[in-house]
């Protein structure tokens, strides 16, 4: 490799690193402001100032505030999915893994900044279709966990998918209800009791048990 080619490659890496740094600064600052002030009240000017980024640099990376919010929301969901997967992996019993993963989802969704972004502001800022698309990994994990718990043999694909929709839908609705509850801790505990009963009932009827 010639010195000129090496210099071009080094320059390219530097540009990529600068771009990555700018994106990270925007996402970090935006998350903090969205969590503190809410999506509607947070301006692009405030985000750029907090990130020490010009408006021109912002528009080089994101089309508008909604696209930036979506990127923040995606990072929140990725972090939550990773936490759920790690929790699930710590349990040999797939039903217990499912329950503890469910608990991780609900408890994680209660963290104030995550709650403000993912449950309070996201429906209005992104809409349910976009939220559902971004949450697809979490739903796939639920489907995987149920397949493992129910056993691969003797279970029609349609049965597993319908049960996944029911349980995952209940999980998401429960998180939303907890976010808007006057007593979220009490509702969380009541919700976990009901999910424990549900999983125990399904496990007793499962041919895998």
Task: Spell out the residues 6+ positions from residue 200 whose beta carbon is closer than 8 angstroms to its own.
Answer: 95
Determine the Cα–Cα distance for residues 39 and 116; give it in Å rounded to an integer: 9
pTM, two decimal places: 0.85
Same structural domain, 209 and 171:
yes
Last residue of a domain, which of 62, 80, 103?
Answer: 62
Query: In this structure, are residues 83 and 66 in contact, taking their beta carbons and an 8 Å threshold?
Result: no
Nearest to 175, CA basis, from 111, 76, 96, 105: 105
How would residue 7 be classed by pLDDT, with cut points 50, 70 and 90?
A: very low
- Chain mean position to CA 180: 18
Same structural domain, 69 and 57:
no
Nearest to 174, CA basis, from 89, 81, 75, 108: 108
Same structural domain, 89 and 180:
yes
Last residue of a domain, which of 39, 62, 85?
Answer: 62
Whether the pLDDT of residue 19 is over 50: the answer is yes
Nearest to 26, CA basis, from 82, 67, 81: 67
Same structural domain, 37 and 81:
no
Higher pLDDT, 151 or 9: 151
Kindly calculate the radius of gyration of the chain based on its CA atoms and give it in whole angstroms: 21
Query: In this structure, are residues 47 and 58 in contact, taking their beta carbons and an 8 Å threshold?
Result: yes
Same structural domain, 72 and 146:
yes
Same structural domain, 78 and 177:
yes
How would residue 151 be classed by pLDDT, with cut points 50, 70 and 90?
A: confident
- Indicate the length of the chain as a whole number: 209
* Count of Cβ atoms closer than 10 Å to residue 43 Cβ: 12
Same structural domain, 103 and 41:
no
Query: Domain count of the chain?
Result: 2
Whether the pLDDT of residue 5 is over 70: the answer is no
How would residue 155 be classed by pLDDT, with cut points 50, 70 and 90?
A: low
Last residue of a domain, which of 14, 30, 62?
Answer: 62
Tokens of 183: 């007593």
Mean pLDDT of 80-104: 94
Whether the pLDDT of residue 6 is over 80: the answer is no
Tokens of 194: 């009901």
Whether the pLDDT of residue 13 is over 80: the answer is no
Same structural domain, 110 and 53:
no
Residue range 164-185, pLDDT digits in tens: 999 999 999 999 999 999 999 9
Determine the Cα–Cα distance for residues 10 and 88; give it in Å rounded to an integer: 42
Same structural domain, 177 and 94:
yes
How would residue 208 be classed by pLDDT, with cut points 50, 70 and 90?
A: low
Residue 2 has what pLDDT? Answer: 54
Place of tokens 């029609």: 156
Residue range 25-80, pLDDT digits in tens: 999 999 999 999 999 999 999 999 999 999 999 999 999 999 999 999 999 999 99
Structural domain boundaries enclosing 15 = 1-62
């Amino acid at each position: 490799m010639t010195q000129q080619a090496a210099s071009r490659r080094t320059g390219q890496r530097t540009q990529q690193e600068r771009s990555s740094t700018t994106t990270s600064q925007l996402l970090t600052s935006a998350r903090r402001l969205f969590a503190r002030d809410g999506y509607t009240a947070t301006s692009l000017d405030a985000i750029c100032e907090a990130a020490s980024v010009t408006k021109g640099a912002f528009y080089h990376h994101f089309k508008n505030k909604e696209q930036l919010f979506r990127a923040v929301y995606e990072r929140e969901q990725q972090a939550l999915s990773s936490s759920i997967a790690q929790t699930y992996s710590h349990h040999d019993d797939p039903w217990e893994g499912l329950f503890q993963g469910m608990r991780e989802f609900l408890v994680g969704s209660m963290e104030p900044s995550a709650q403000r972004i993912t449950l309070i502001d996201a429906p209005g800022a992104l809409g349910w279709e976009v939220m559902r698309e971004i949450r697809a990994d979490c739903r796939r994990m639920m489907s995987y966990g149920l397949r493992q718990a129910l056993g691969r043999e003797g279970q029609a694909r349609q049965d597993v998918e319908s049960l996944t929709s029911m349980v995952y839908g209940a999980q998401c609705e429960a998180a939303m209800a907890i976010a808007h509850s006057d007593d979220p801790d009490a509702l969380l505990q009541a919700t976990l009791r009901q999910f424990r009963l549900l999983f125990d009932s399904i496990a007793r009827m499962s041919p895998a048990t």
